[in-house]
Chain A
Amino acid sequence: MTSHFLLLLLFAFLVSIVFAVLMRDEPRQQVRTAAVMFAGFVVTAVVLGWLMYPLPL
């Protein structure tokens, strides 16, 4: 698997789960926190990616 975006999704998914389970005790809250965090990771990555797009690197 070499798709950068799929790897990003996978990474964000797994990290969100760990953080959510660390932060919350109730399974329902854990799922909600993980979903919010996952969305936050993905949106932030896409926004930062577009912001960096014009940079001459």
Chain B
Amino acid sequence: MAGKTTTADSARASAEPGTLTLVCVLGWAIPGGAHFWLGRRQKSAVFFVVLTLMFAIGLLLQGRLFSFDFSEPLGALAAFADAGLGAPWIVARVLGAGAGEVRATTFEYGNTFLIVAGLLNYLVVLDAYDIAVGRK
């Protein structure tokens, strides 16, 4: 069917590398930001609220924001996961939050919330990328 264009085709055509980069960076920096940019407002609102809430709960449970210390490979991986949340992670680091209290009962729970929030945001960014290139 030459000459007929679908929505996916037009999305693919408009998916310039610069726009895709912007979508990914926006999605990383603000949870749900990329979906908002792409017009998926409902999804965007859910991602923003839930992921930010998970991050805040992780901090409240006295979880630790790991640093990129490559002498401890697992810690560096956890830091990569934490960093997935973009702006909230940057703000927390700047404010000195997320020092972590190892003796707290909820320390590991806090780490889990922080790490999973970041990893989920990476998934959200990949989803936004798929939408931007017309795969979804």
- Do A and B pair up? The answer is yes
Binding site for B on A (CB under 8 A): 1-2, 4, 7, 10-11, 14-15, 17-18, 21-22, 27
Q: Which of A2, A10, A18, A27 is in CB contact (< 8 Å) with B105? A: A2
Chain A residue contacts of B43, Cβ below 8 A: 21-22
For chain B, the count of residues having a C-beta within 8 Å of the partner chain is 20
Question: Binding site of A, secondary structure by majority: helix, strand, loop or mixed?
Answer: helix
Is A18 touching B124 in the complex (CB atoms < 8 A)? yes
With both chains docked as a complex, state the minimum distance between the C-beta of B55 and any C-beta of chain A, in angstroms: 11
Could you tell me the distance between the alpha carbons of A44 and B53 in the complex, rounded to whole angstroms?
Answer: 24
B111-136 vs A, CB cutoff 8 Å, 1 = contact: the mask equals 01100100010011001000000000
Is B47 touching A18 in the complex (CB atoms < 8 A)? yes
Is B112 touching A2 in the complex (CB atoms < 8 A)? no
Q: Which of A1, A14, A27 is in CB contact (< 8 Å) with B54? A: A14
Is B127 touching A22 in the complex (CB atoms < 8 A)? yes
| A22 and B124 in contact, given A2-B105, A14-B50, A14-B54 (Cβ under 8 angstroms) | yes
With both chains docked as a complex, state the minimum distance between the C-beta of A51 and any C-beta of chain B, in angstroms: 20
Chain B residue contacts of A4, Cβ below 8 A: 109
Is A14 touching B127 in the complex (CB atoms < 8 A)? no
Is A22 touching B123 in the complex (CB atoms < 8 A)? yes
Is A15 touching B105 in the complex (CB atoms < 8 A)? no
